[in-house]
Amino acid sequence: MKNKILGLIMVFAISISTNINSQSAEDLAMMEAMFNTAVDSGAGDQSGQACIDQMNNKGWQEISTNRRGEKEYYVVGVGSVLAPIQSQNFASSVQNASTKALLDAKTKFSAILNQEITSEIVVDLKQQISEGQKPDILNDQNITQQSPEYDDLPYLEKMKILVNQQLDKLIDPETKESFNKATQSKNADASEAAKKLEDILNQEQMTEIITTKTAADVRGMIVKYGNFAADQNRGKKPEVCIVTKWSPGLLKMADAIATNDFKVLKSNKKKKPLKDQIPVNAFNERDFKGYMQLLGSFGTYLMRDENGDLNVVSFAVQGMASDSPQSQTVARQRAIQKANAQIVQFLNESVELNSKSSTTEALTEYKDGLQDYYTEQNFEQRQAASAQATVSGIQTLATYKGIQLLNQKPLIGAITFYNPSSAEGAQDALKAFAADPEKTPSEGSGSNQKTVAPEDTPTIDTGAGYGDDDEDEPW
């Protein structure tokens, strides 16, 4: 049996080689030139190609095992930019694309964990063959029965004749003519369709319907890499792609933030302050490379600071309606709001994906040898997400004003972060506010008056790599 299989493989390989060798040198040279032209034009680039390349360069697998023997997941998400490049809202549309990319990654992750798939396939094959003259039906009752005369009709039938006669007198000739023309047209179409059906010899039709459903509560998913790309010369529309990661350690961190378990979020692994790791002043300092890095930063990253605290750092941008102070204020607040919302989404987000695709194709063969091919494809998809949490200690690391390089329109960027030390201080302050006020006795007065001891303001120190170092991650 094994030798038989090897023989079949050798025959198949020889067949392929023979087909290639049978091509002329000119044909092969022409096909190779077309192949190279297609590669150079970017015809092989997929949506989110930059993130796919990053996955390959880093050796990240969609599902892999870390050094602790735990399963971790790397998932690529892609979002398209809908606004035209010259639109004032283009920068905001890029931010929206990053939001869609993150949702895309989360729903894909949910589908990896669990999904319900329904597939329905129907194949219809029909054939009609006729030859000779159809025989008469000897026992047809319509032939042997005689129709009654008018005097023999029942009362109800006579009433129908009377009503029809009176209606014919009331309806004008133009209406009758219009009705007759419409009927004749319909009859002609029906006759043509019937004639065409009679000419069919064989017909095969395949219909496939696939539905997919998935839902999950995703906690602790961070961004490892983000990319914004647009190349009009190669016909590539603007898009944002991100590479996300989830692991049990990241889940523990998200749960620790949600439950204010600050000990879990601290360690002796110290890094630089966040402002030394993120080029927040790149635009004003003429740091083009740093500014490009800011424009390519999307979603939430995990970073450790000089105190050993694990920080969740979030990036967002917002386009400005104009360059007025009022527009700057609104854009800044919206950018901060979006960045803060991404931190909440890191803690817990309910995601849902529903998709349905249908494919139909049919091949009809006529008796005269002609063939008709028909195909129809439909696809629908709905992604939804919702997140809600109460978090202490979120603060703004920096905001910056710059331009979207593709259209020179102004934008505002915001970088916010969650820090466990500041969150711990905020919790202490909340407890102090919740306590009933007490009086302390004044010196030398003998009274029972008390004063509230001032709370120490929590110090905030930040810093880490850009979330690309696995050593920054907990556990």
Alpha-carbon distance of 207 to 362, in angstroms, equals 9
Residue whose C-alpha is closest to residue 464's, from 284, 304, 252 = 304
Q: How far is 313 from 435, CA to CA, in rounded Å?
A: 32
How far the first Cα of the chain sits from its last, in Å, is 51
For 162-201, write each residue's pLDDT tens digit: 778 877 777 888 888 888 888 888 877 777 766 666 777 7
pLDDT tens over the chain, length 475 residues: 445 544 544 544 445 444 555 568 888 888 888 888 888 877 778 889 999 999 999 999 999 998 889 999 999 999 999 999 999 999 999 999 999 999 999 999 999 999 899 999 999 888 877 777 766 655 555 655 677 787 778 878 888 887 788 777 778 888 888 888 888 888 777 777 666 667 777 888 999 999 999 998 999 999 999 999 888 777 778 999 999 999 999 999 899 888 888 888 888 888 899 999 999 999 999 999 999 999 999 999 999 999 888 899 999 999 998 889 999 999 999 999 999 999 999 998 999 989 999 999 999 888 888 888 999 999 999 999 998 888 888 999 999 999 999 899 999 999 999 988 888 877 777 777 777 766 655 554 444 444 443 444 332 222 223 554 555 555 5
Residue with tokens 């999904």: 115
Give the model's pLDDT for residue 29.
86
In whole angstroms, what is the distance from residue 224 CA to residue 303 CA? 11
Distance of CA 41 to the CA centre of its chain: 26
Nearest one of 341, 305, 342, 275 to 419, comparing CA atoms: 305
Q: Which two tokens stand for residue 280?
A: 């927040």
User: Which pLDDT belongs to residue 155?
Assistant: 78
Q: Which two structure tokens, joined as six digits, stand for 148?
A: 């009654």
Quick one: pLDDT at residue 451? Answer: 41
pLDDT at 166: 79
Q: Provide the phi-psi class of 235: left if phi over 0, else alpha when psi is between -120 and 50, else beta.
A: left
Residue 432 CB contacts under 8 Å (≥ 6 apart), including other chains: 452, 455
Cβ–Cβ under 8 Å, residues 400 and 280: yes
What secondary structure does DSSP assign to 305-369, as a single string? -TTSBEEEEEEEEEE-SSSSHHHHHHHHHHHHHHHHHHHHHHH-EEEEEEEEEEEEEEEEEETTS
Q: Which residue has the tokens 């949702």?
A: 103
Task: State residue 82's pLDDT score.
Answer: 93
Sequence-ordered list of residues with C-beta below 8 angstroms from that of 440, at least 6 positions apart, any chain: 449, 450, 451
Q: What pLDDT sits at residue 447?
A: 43
pTM beyond 0.85, yes or no: no
- The predicted structure's pLDDT at residue 453: 39
Which value, to the nearest 10 degrees, does the dihedral of the CA atoms of residues 100, 106, 107, 108 take? 110
- From the list 369, 385, 426, the residue with the least C-alpha distance to 216 is 385
Tell me what pLDDT residue 232 has: 76
Residue type, 451: T
Alpha helices in 117-264 (DSSP H): 141-144, 155-170, 173-199, 248-258
Nearest to 312 by CA among 467, 137, 439: 467
DSSP class of residue 266 equals B
